[in-house]
Structure 1
Amino acid sequence: MLLAATTTSTVTVGNQNCKMDRLKEQRIAVKFCVKLGKSATKTFAMLHAGYGDLAMKRTACFKWHGRFKDGLQSIDDDECPERSSTSTYDPHVDKINTLVHENRRLTIRELAEECGIAVGSGYEILIGKLKMHRTSYLSAVTVHTIITNISHMIEVTAAFCHT
């Protein structure tokens, strides 16, 4: 069988690099089958016989078979263009920075509405770009409680001393 030698490859489930290596190895096998004139159905049967449950899916095998048959030489995936985010550009960062310095009590939602961007983008600008982290509500409550307790103790002490 054509793919019998490839069944000795080590595959660790959960390791992305091994999975990619296994897929590239199978693409090479598909490319070889195309050069031998094997049909896509026969190629998939050979992959399934060699790799068992770890073989690429039937649709992927047929896709790669067609690509190699059409003259594609590379076994690498096509490059996917990244989506650029316009919400975290410098003008928005500058505007949010200015707004925060003018009024530190603004919420992320208010900042986002003011700039016309999504709340998630506002969060990304504050945390990711400007490295601003708000103090936790618990800390603010704790400080307020301590101040209130100290004020109460002073009042009690003052009332006790005057009697």
Structure 2
Amino acid sequence: MTGRLEQRYCIKFCQKQSDSQVETIRKIQTAFGDDAMGITQIKEWYNRFKDSCTSVESEPREPRSGRPSTCRNDQVIAQVNAVVMRNRRVTIREITEEVGISTFSSHIPL
């Protein structure tokens, strides 16, 4: 990760020196060789610095939509087990409605 940070400082320096994107890409590839960022990443960082961004740190990513990664944790498993223990003939649909999880997640092995 340190190498990426160093490269961002170099990109920032090149942009401040009025180097073009092509010159910056060439310099980064020459200096870092096989460890160099991809061309697209270099262009993105170059444009960030050109647009007055001063930080070389990555911004935290927004959480993605869709199924939360925490749907199969110990708490959910315990809730499913509790529903099943109350009624061994409970259906998957009843489990999903009571616990509030997807049909796929309700197929937790006991």
Instruction: Tell whether the structures are fold-level matches, with TM greater than 0.5.
Output: yes
Q: Give RMSD over aligned pairs.
A: 2.9
Runs of 4+ aligned residues of structure 1 deviating over 6 Å after TM superposition are: none
* Alpha-carbon offset, residue 74 of structure 1: 1.1
Determine helix, strand or coil for the equivalent of 1:38: coil
The answer to whether 1:118 aligns with 2:68 is no
* Alpha-carbon offset, residue 81 of structure 1: 2.1
* Distance in 2 (alpha carbons) for counterparts of 1:95 and 1:46: 57
The answer to whether 1:102 aligns with 2:86 is yes
Compare relative contact order (CA 8 Å, sep 6+) and give the higher one, 1 or 2: 2
Scaled by the length of structure 2, the TM-score of the pair is: 0.71
Q: Which of the pair has more CA radius of gyration?
A: 1
Change (3 A) 1:52 1:95: closer
Change (3 A) 1:105 1:58: same
* Alpha-carbon offset, residue 35 of structure 1: 1.1
The answer to whether 1:59 aligns with 2:43 is no
Q: Which has the higher helix share?
A: 1
* Alpha-carbon offset, residue 104 of structure 1: 4.2
* Distance in 2 (alpha carbons) for counterparts of 1:26 and 1:120: 43
* Distance in 2 (alpha carbons) for counterparts of 1:76 and 1:44: 19
Structure 1 gap ranges (5+): 1-19, 127-132, 135-163
Cα deviation, 1:45-66, whole Å, max 9, x if unaligned, reads 0011111121111111111001
Cα deviation, 1:58-112, whole Å, max 9, x if unaligned, reads 1111110010011101112221122473x84xxxx58635422213466xxx43x
**Percent identity (aligned):** 32
Change (3 A) 1:56 1:98: same
* Distance in 2 (alpha carbons) for counterparts of 1:76 and 1:41: 23
